[in-house]
A and B are shown apart, each in its own frame.
Chain A
Amino acid sequence: MEYFEIFIAGVFINNILLAQFLGNCPFLGTSKKMETAVGMSMAVVFVLVMAGMITWVVDTYLLKQLGVEYLRTVSFILVIASLVQFVEMFLKKSIPALYAGLGIFLPLITTNCAVMGACLINISKEYSFMKALVSSFAFAVGFGIALILFAGLRERINLGRVPKPLQDTSIGLVAAGIIALTFMSFKGMV
């Protein structure tokens, strides 16, 4: 039940894009087309789960043991960046089909604050390894849902008559704000 709560909280209540406002760059950048939004979501699920696990290990067995928790941010950046690079190389060699699908999105996530933020939230809530895993997955799914929803919306908005000054990113931000308001209604559920 606890895991389920963590999952629901991660997907809806603390949605990384629409409640935490992290990762706004890919949210606007890759939501113009459904196709790219789906690719990006898959890549985020993949990377965030891996990053969640490895940062938990680094935090518990290195930072906490040595008492240098203040180095958390900088060491996470290093670890996540290396991890993404590693995964990219691994996929290219071992699973070329998956690489062809995710390939161009992986380097984008290297510097994605949604990934970084999710990992830091996991640590600050002092989750166990399993909880951190579920929570990372939930954040990633939340990211995916929000991105795909938003891509569908933007594809429709493109067909409409938008006044020139508001076209493209501007109307995107307005729409994102309105969706974020609706996500606020989840607050207090858990």
Chain B
Amino acid sequence: MLPALFLMLGIGAVCGIVLSLSSKVFYVYEDPRISLVEANLAGANCGGCGYAGCSAAAQAVVEGREPAGVCIISSKEGIEKVAEVMGMDVGEAESPQALNLCEGGLRASDKYNYMGISSCKAMAMVFGGKRDCTVGCIGLGDCVRACSFDAVIIGSDGYPVVNEERCVGCGACKKACPKDIIEVNTLSEKLLKFNQEHDALAPCAQTCPAEINIPRYINQLKAGQYKEAVQTIRMRNPLPLACGRVCPHPCEEECRRGIEDEAVSINQLKRFVADYEMNTGTRIPVKCAPDTGKKVAVIGGGPTGLTCAYFLRRIGHEVTIFEAMPKLGGMLRYGIPEYRLPKEVLDWEVDGILQLGVKAFNHLKFGTDFGLGSLMAAGYNAVFIGVGAWKDYSLGIDGEDLDGCYTGINFLARISHGENIPLGRTAAIVGGGNTAVDCARTLLRMGLDKVYMVYRRTRNEMPANEVEIVASEEEGIEFVFLAAPTRVIGDEDGKVQQLEYLKMELGEPDASGRRRPQPIEGSETILDVDMVISAIGQSPDASFKSQDPHARMTELELTRWNTIDNDPETLQSNIPYIFTGGDAATGPALVVDAIGSGRRAARSIDLFLKGEAVEPIENSLLQKRIKESIFSKVDGIKKTPRAKMPELPVSERLDSFVEVDLVLPEVEAHREAERCLNCCRICYNPDVPVSS
């Protein structure tokens, strides 16, 4: 009896001593808040939050990786107590929401029919599913069964519909789906989502540089939900009014309807809903994520700067725009004439962005009025440079500095300022791009008798938008093709009198795929003009690099075209906290390209501010096409003509700067929206049933 007692005491004592000693020796500091937080979680160890047990979730909350509402089955009081322990505001948590990305449903054609399997996961294991589409919904409802909150149902079209009020964002449906077509994302994640190779994307949405979900907003327009359509556009593009007017719509080139018929007039539909919002006079409220307390400086208030600022603001960062010109808008304001994009419209759009809480300072030039040093001193955590490409290339010919010679962007900007420029009677515009056409049409409206456009190739090679070229032909601009200016001849007062050019002929195609013009010897020709505007392209003005006294600035790498060198996918420059996009990084490009890169930069800046690695998106599509989604023929199309853009008659155009292109009437817009096939990756709604 006694030995047994002593033995038990002994073992107990040894175990106790060893454990207490080892708890001292092997002590690992743990935040005391972890156990406090854990005590306020539901304690079910259900794993619904995505962590292995409540203590792991508590740890994530304390480390700041999860909001107070991490526990999906916690009561409101529980969440409040957790928030109290952490000293945060309950409202700060951004709640994720599930969303189905596939709209294929029953219209997606079946590859085969195998009776008996009632689960998507099993079906996916059998040759990847019963549908033709490799990414689309299988529709057997694994997500419905996975949802503990009855928030997912299979809708009448055969694909899952999420009830937003019931969804708690636990992600169970996403885990259950073998096809990754349900995403559970917060607003910030949705705003910063980029097209990936495995996404269910229509050809137009793959092509759009801003990655707008085009089929969705056209569908919303069809249903009369104009406000929702504008919101869909605003998820990707904060400048729908401007884009709806000036975008050369690369999306329409890839429109599936365009294979058999005329493409859907996507851009006019965008303009229709955007104009609808403006004409109602009330802005649709735009939601922003809770403040993060990080500050970002955006240099340049053009399309890319505005976009970057808009997205950074919407995901909760504090943004300040610094603009060198008197007003925001960049090339939209100073490079695009009033008759294409009225200043009134632009002001309304820019105001909308500023109203989100974006601060802006005008008249401040980077490098001279302020520099990198002053931004750092003011506590900015990251800098976005979107200064555009404002320096006109010079022709490099004699007489270029004569009185009456101007350069394209400089000329347009001065006109926009309202500056009085002495005009002649006849003018020659050198160049074939949009800037050249804008100069020509502007001059015509200012009362010149004759405007020539001198271009060294032919009409087919002109980089300007087709609609612009057609409009300038209608307005009576004379084109001088295959002509390379050789010198400007002045009179004794130093005023422009004539432009001499050499005639050209087209030779072999060059690197850009266009046929290279070659001069014809001895073909000098004289054109009588008293104004010459050269608009042969621009490069960024990188003078800030040498003017900024901050030592770090000299390290910023530029390319040989004077653009800022950056990682093409993350847009980070060689200085980690400087990001860049738009024309300043790519050279002159489309507004919609600038918008796309502004958002891309916002994603990288967000990663940088969170202290995460700034890495490219995995399987990023980057405007490549998904092969299986590009068809060579489309069945079930009934040819219907595309809506014609209403225009001001030529007679009314020339004496004023009134907007030329008009918005579609509502009936027309609906008819045009009906032409949309609501394409997805491979399925679409044909006009007439297709026999399989």
Contacts and interface: CB of A to CB of B under 8 A. Distances in A.
Contacts of B15: 78-79, 81-82
B26 interface: yes
A89 B7 contact: no
B19 interface: yes
Interface in A76-129: 78-79, 81-82, 85-86, 89-90, 92-94, 104
B515 interface: no
Given A68-B7, A75-B7, A78-B15, A92 B28 contact: yes
Chain A's interface: helix, strand, loop or mixed, by majority?
A: helix
Contact of A159 (B12, B28, B121): B121
Contacts of B26: 89-90, 92-94
Interface in A131-162: 159-161
Contact of A82 (B19, B118, B121): B19
B634 interface: no
A89 B19 CA distance: 9
B8 A89 contact: no
Chain B's interface: helix, strand, loop or mixed, by majority?
A: helix
A78 B11 contact: yes
Contacts of B125: 159
A63 B52 CA distance: 40
Contacts of B7: 62-63, 66, 68, 71, 75
A79 B11 contact: yes
Nearest to A66: B3
A62 B25 CA distance: 27
Given A78-B12, A159-B119, A159-B121, A90 B22 contact: yes
Q: Size range of the interface on B?
A: 20 to 34
Nearest to A88: B26
A85 B22 CA distance: 10
A14 B12 CA distance: 32
A189 interface: no
Interface in B532-567: none
Contact of B18 (A70, A75, A86): A86
Nearest to A103: B52
Interface string A157-173: 00111000000000000
Interface in B228-281: none
A188 interface: no
B53 interface: yes
Contact of A75 (B11, B22, B53, B119): B11
Contact of A89 (B3, B12, B23): B23
Question: Which of A58, A67, A82, A92 has the most C-beta atoms of chain B within 10 angstroms of its own C-beta?
Answer: A82
A190 interface: no
A70 B12 CA distance: 17
A90 B24 CA distance: 11
A35 B52 CA distance: 12
A39 to B, nearest CB: 9
A1 interface: no
B19 A85 contact: yes
A81 B19 CA distance: 10
Contact of A71 (B4, B118, B119): B4
A74 B11 CA distance: 10
B31 to A, nearest CB: 14
B18 A82 contact: yes
B22 A89 contact: yes
B48 to A, nearest CB: 14
A71 to B, nearest CB: 6
Contacts of A93: 25-28
Interface string A172-188: 00000000000000000
A69 to B, nearest CB: 10
A92 B28 CA distance: 7
B423 interface: no
A159 B3 contact: no
B22 A74 contact: no
Nearest to A68: B4
B122 interface: yes
A92 B23 CA distance: 11
A104 B53 CA distance: 8
A104 B52 contact: yes
A79 B3 CA distance: 18
B127 to A, nearest CB: 15
A81 B8 CA distance: 14
Nearest to B55: A104
Contacts of A75: 7-8, 11
A67 B3 CA distance: 9
A104 B23 CA distance: 18
Interface in B12-60: 12, 15, 18-19, 22-23, 25-28, 52-53, 56
Given A79-B11, A89-B19, A93-B26, 12 more contacts: A58-B11, A63-B7, A66-B3, A68-B3, A71-B8, A74-B8, A75-B8, A90-B22, A104-B52, A104-B56, A159-B122, A159-B125
Top 4 nearest A-B pairs (CB, nearest first) are A82-B15, A93-B26, A159-B122, A89-B26
Interface of A: 58, 62-63, 66-68, 70-71, 74-75, 78-79, 81-82, 85-86, 89-90, 92-94, 104, 159-161
Interface of B: 3-4, 7-8, 11-12, 15, 18-19, 22-23, 25-28, 52-53, 56, 118-119, 121-122, 125
23 contacts: A58-B11, A62-B11, A66-B3, A66-B4, A67-B3, A68-B4, A68-B7, A71-B8, A74-B8, A75-B7, A75-B8, A75-B11, A78-B12, A79-B11, A79-B15, A81-B15, A86-B19, A93-B28, A94-B26, A104-B56, A159-B121, A159-B122, A160-B122
